[in-house]
Structure 1
Amino acid sequence: MTGHAPLPDTGGSEAAPRAERTPTELDRLAEQWMDALLELEPELHVELGRPGREGQYADLSPDGHAGHAGAARRMLAQVRATEPADEVDRVTRAELIRTLDLAVEQHEAGFWQRDLNVIASPAQGLRDIFDLMSTDTPEDWEHIALRMQNLPDAMDGYLASLRAGIEAGNTPAIRQVTEVLAQARKQSGAGSFFAALAARAPEPQRPALETAAGAAIGAYERLADFLEHELSQKATPADAVGREIYQLASRHFTGVEVDLEETYAWGVEELTRMVEEQERIAQEILPGAGVGEAIAYLESDSSMQLEGTEALRAWMQEVSDRAIAELGATHFDIPEPLRRIECMIAPTDEGGIYYTPPSEDFARAGRMWWSVPAGVTRFDTWRELTTVYHEGVPGHHLQTGLALYQRGRLNAWRRFNWNSGHGEGWALYAERLMDELGYLGTPAERLGMLDGQRMRAARVVLDIGVHLGLPKPDGTGTWTGDDAFPFLAQHVNMNEGFVRFEANRYLGWPGQAPSYKVGQREWERLRDDWIARNGRDLKRFHAEALALGSVGLGTLRQALLGS
């Protein structure tokens, strides 16, 4: 990290112990809220690996959302009336108040009425949960069939909420409606995920699965018809959500009040720095070449390419296993349950790479998923190495796994809590850390890391610029959604399908994309400030910070530095 304190020695310190702690009143409230979430959102049982509520979905109707907000208000009052007993409690109280307050604010602002985008809305979530469901036993297949049978009711509740948005004049952008319509048609067509999953069922369960799959496919047909014939007629023409909604979304994703104009200006400067750094490395790869020429040169080198998704999966697994073994012997204390990660090719082809945490008991390993776009069969290892570190170790797998491992110290809600600025910021910090530790050992691998960092800087500029309608850096007017794809194509060296999906993602999920770079910036500042106060012991800094679990960036600074 240019301009930051050099890495200290790593010997002599130990990670925070998995110490037992007597639960407090705030722990009791946090556990009570966790139980409430499990009741309100039964899918969490699958995510956490807890038995119960098999096959059930959250109530996505207007009444369901109102019930969720009401529960948050009641818990918020109790938490505010309870004083912390120790430092752990202080963090718990701060995070409960922050997240509960935000849940109420977002409900009152009608986020639930326009909850439709290409990557993280119920349109995807109703299907995505199947990726985490076990298929090992006949009972597992019965649970899958039950969930498919329940999907139509969940979909109807979701459609009722979107219709409430139409009545209130609070609708998503037409671009998101059009893109999700294509996704819904895919799930209701001949190549539906549900039909393919039913075909995998053992013979005794297959007839029931095929019937259930038909119900799920029918639900997505209704979604597609609704999007095409109802919502598209009332959708918002502009992609921008405006300052008020954006500020609230940004606070949700970062856990801190972001100065949007300052962050936009910093993003422009950071993007310039990334371009200049890439240009320097391009010269190392091919003297006299620009970045595009250096990338073309690397893409022609078959020694740094993988052919086919199975080769990709095996390479991801090899890189991940090696990082766990080596970093666990030097720079991090990695408990045994976290030394297993499963690298997977996702059953979808929408694009994107993501991580799903292990179950609470670590029986289901943490998983790195690659959703490979249709037709893509070749992968460049120099470009993707840093992504494996981002999703695996020392990125998300280490971060979320260490939080889950703190069972004797953190209540269940603290172990489960997630903040994007903290989590994605850590993952970008981890990418740079691996470069500093020598794991990106060639100019090509560093160029690949910078390719991702440049993309993250570009989307700070794009995301804030579009949604606030700010002036473009080149002086050619103010940002609109139509600027997104050409701007990203200039700064992201990936295939057109990936870049277009990413552009649509940022336009439909305001505030999320900048949280990566904003979080990385804060992690780097925190490290420098912590070292100035405590000395050059990076291993101890990482151990203390990650032992907190995922918290908002404001809470993180307060917990580590008291300011």
Structure 2
Amino acid sequence: MTTERQPSDLDALADEWAETLLDLDPEWHVELGRPGREGDYGDLSPDGHAARREATAAMLARVDAAEPADAVDQVTKLELQRVLGIAVEQHDAGFWRHDLNVIASPAQNVRDIFDLMPTASAADWAHVATRLGNVRAAVDGYVESLRAGIEAGDTPAIRQVVEVADQVERQAEPDGFFAALALRGGDAGLPASLVADLEGGAESARAAYSVLARFLRDDLAPHARERDAVGRDVYALASRGFVGAEIDLDETYEWGVEELARMVAEQEAIARQIVPGGTVADAVAHLDADPSRMLQGTDALQAWMQETSDEAIDHLAGVHFDVPEPMRRLECMIAPTQLGGIYYTPPSEDFARAGRMWWSVPEGVTEFGTWRERTTVYHEGVPGHHLQCGYAVWNRGELNAWRRSMNWNSGHGEGWALYAERLMADLGFLDDPADRLGMLDGQRMRAARVVLDIGVHLEKPMPAALAGVPGRGRRDEQSTWTGDAAFGFMAQHVNMNAPFVRFEVNRYLGWAGQAPSYKVGQRLWEQLRDDARAAAGDAWDPRDFHRQALAVGSVSLGTLRDVVLG
């Protein structure tokens, strides 16, 4: 743990903001492992959003007036100004009125927080029961905000409404998530009164999600916009939030097209090593037919994830990275949902709850290719998100609570995780051509979604190379990106099953600006490393670079450059 520094006035403001967030959005108590309000939700109604806006603007004014005491304070001030300023802008632009997508909106968040709630004791289960009973109020507030969007003519796309309605209905089924959670409590040897509370809470939560599903289909869908595109202005504001800096969207789009071509060429070269003279499709078919590279069932997947993660930590710690002892524990989990997606949740502030890698396996998917997924473990675990988030928590002597645990920048965080994937290839962990093909498949996907995401939401012309993609038309036709065309395009550039492709594309269409932040962030991380190595010359030590860069926590990409290069 780093040496303690004397907390400053700006640290006090950041800590006060952290406490404000804990008050406005009590779910943070669970995420951080802090006692108190374990069963409460934040107010998702228009009044709740107005309260957040008022608190945010008031804190921003105080931060603007504060004077930094040292270099740590300078970063804190820049980050608070960025985060608070963008939050006010996005509120005023009405983002809260159309907050609906297939992966990261209140429709998922109200349920997802249960995944982090401890269930080791009767007291833990009592908190679960309380939260189950509070689902209805959270959903009602959310519906009220979406109704405000209808009244303002500011609604999500119909594609998102239909997809999320399907998700919500699955949670509300008699054997859905809430019912299954209550059954787990019933099997835990709890007092009869607590089991009754769990069952009653689960029924209330199921009913709330049924209400939400009916609202989405009957009330919101008729007013939802037909086009997937959000437009340049909304996209630019969303992108600034995810990247932490303003990027040239048109230049980034063109770079994405070029980067995709480079990834395709590299992957095709590796494919020919696996199947001489063969295509990527030939190599994929060859690997998928190899029983030694396939896992059967989620139990085998979970065990392999854990083994791969533990092995990476053992080999990297003390050699390529400094990995403090509490960070050497990463738990690999199968998520209790079947929505698709792989994600990471950080450790609690005291490391009592370890960092966790979650795999939400879509229904019906029972086979998993290790050649595809080894790089995913490095992305979510070590040296990816686990190392990154763990360093920030570990550095509590220098970073205030907000910076180490509550500030997250997607361009910084996801860019680091992609950087980590490439780094593992450079370090020899993906020398097997099959594993390297899987890494390149992921890198190709991230480049493709830069093109797709910006292309669809800005309704840009499609590159001529996309002739033949469903929805594009003939080669000699000038076509504009559409959501429908995105599915065929993505299917050409990833070697994943149809449910995965469907979920991923729907995610991009509903969460504008988020997906490109990964590759944009990787681009900057690699530039920073190369610049730092050139400046250090023979004195270059990658452990020093990584420790310095990660110790500042999650910051905007512009701030990261200032911090690393000084």
TM-score normalised to structure 1 length: 0.96
Confirm whether residue 134 of structure 1 aligns to residue 112 of structure 2: no
1:357-368 alignment runs, 5 A limit: 357-368=346-357
For the pair 1:185 / 2:169, whether they are aligned, the reply is yes
Is 1:317 aligned to 2:317, yes or no? no
Confirm whether residue 53 of structure 1 aligns to residue 51 of structure 2.
Answer: no
CA positional deviation for 1:459:
0.2
Give the aligned partner of residue 271 of structure 1: 260
Matches within 5 A, 1:57-456: 57-201=41-185, 202-203=188-189, 204=191, 205-416=194-405, 417-456=407-446
- For the residues of structure 1 that align with 2:305 and 2:318, how far apart are their CA atoms? 20
State the 4+ residue runs in structure 1 displaced beyond 3 angstroms. Answer: none
User: Following superposition of structure 1 onto structure 2, how do residues 401-550 of structure 1 map, counting pairs within 5 Å?
Assistant: 401-416=390-405, 417-474=407-464, 476-535=478-537, 536-550=540-554
For each residue in 1:388-438, what CA deviation from the matched residue of structure 2 results, as whole angstroms up to 9, or x when unmatched? 000000000000000000111100001021100000000000000000000
SS of the residue corresponding to residue 367 of structure 1 reads strand
**Map of 1:10 onto structure 2:** none
SS for the counterpart of 1:369 is: strand
Q: Which amino acid aligns with 2:133?
A: Q
User: Deviations 1:32-71 (Å, cap 9, x if unpaired)?
Assistant: 0000000000000000000011200000000100000110
Structure 1 unaligned residues grouped into runs of 5+: 1-16
Task: State the shift of 1:538 in Å.
Answer: 1.2
> What whole-Å deviation, never above 9, does each CA across 1:343-362 have from its counterpart, x for those lacking one?
00000011111100010110
SS of match in other structure, 2:564: helix
Distance 2:332 2:229 in 1: 36
Using the alignment, how far apart are the partners of 2:322 and 2:544 within structure 1?
Answer: 10
Structure 2 partner of 1:553? 557
**1:154 aligns to what SS in structure 2?**
helix
Larger mean Cα displacement after TM superposition, 198-207 or 455-464: 198-207
Residue 334 of structure 1 aligns to a residue in which SS? coil
| 1:534, distance to aligned residue in structure 2 (A) | 2.4
The 2-side partners of 1:447 and 1:169 are apart by 46
Q: Is 1:40 paired with 2:29?
A: no
How far apart are residue 476 of structure 1 and its match? 4.0
| TM-score, length basis structure 2 | 0.96
Amino acid at match of 1:219: A
Structure 1 position 441, deviation (Å): 2.1
After TM superposition, give the deviation of residue 334 of structure 1 in Å. Answer: 0.4
State the partner residue of 1:7. none
CA deviation after TM superposition for structure 1 residue 300, in Å = 0.4
Equivalent in the alignment of 1:5? none
Tell me how far apart the structure 2 counterparts of residues 288 and 513 of structure 1 sit (CA, whole Å): 33
> Equivalent residue for 2:469?
none
- Using the alignment, how far apart are the partners of 1:63 and 1:130 within structure 2? 25
1:343-387: CA deviations, max 9, x gaps? 000000111111000101100000000111111111111110000
Q: Which runs of 5+ in 2 are unaligned?
A: 465-476
C-alpha distance in structure 1 between counterparts of 2:301 and 2:396, whole Å: 34
Aligned counterparts of 1:550 and 1:530: Cα–Cα separation in 2: 19
SS in 1 for 2:331: strand
**3-state SS of paired residue (1:116):** coil
| Residues 298-336 of structure 1: CA deviation (Å, up to 9, x unaligned) | 110001111111111001001111111110030111011
Distance 2:352 2:541 in 1: 33
| Secondary structure of the corresponding residue to residue 200 of structure 1 | helix
1:242 is matched by which residue type in structure 2?
A: G
Q: Hey, what's the Cα distance between the residues in 2 that align with 1:557 and 1:197?
A: 45
What's the % identity of the aligned pairs? 66
Cα distance in 2 between the residues matched to 1:561 and 1:439: 28
CA distance in 2, matches of 1:37, 1:271: 39
Residues in 1 aligned to 2:367 and 2:142: alpha-carbon distance in whole angstroms: 38
1:170-217 alpha-carbon deviations (Å, 9 max, x no partner): 000000000001011111112210000000113423221111100000
Query: What secondary structure, in the 3-state scheme, does the structure 2 residue paired with 1:127 have?
Result: helix
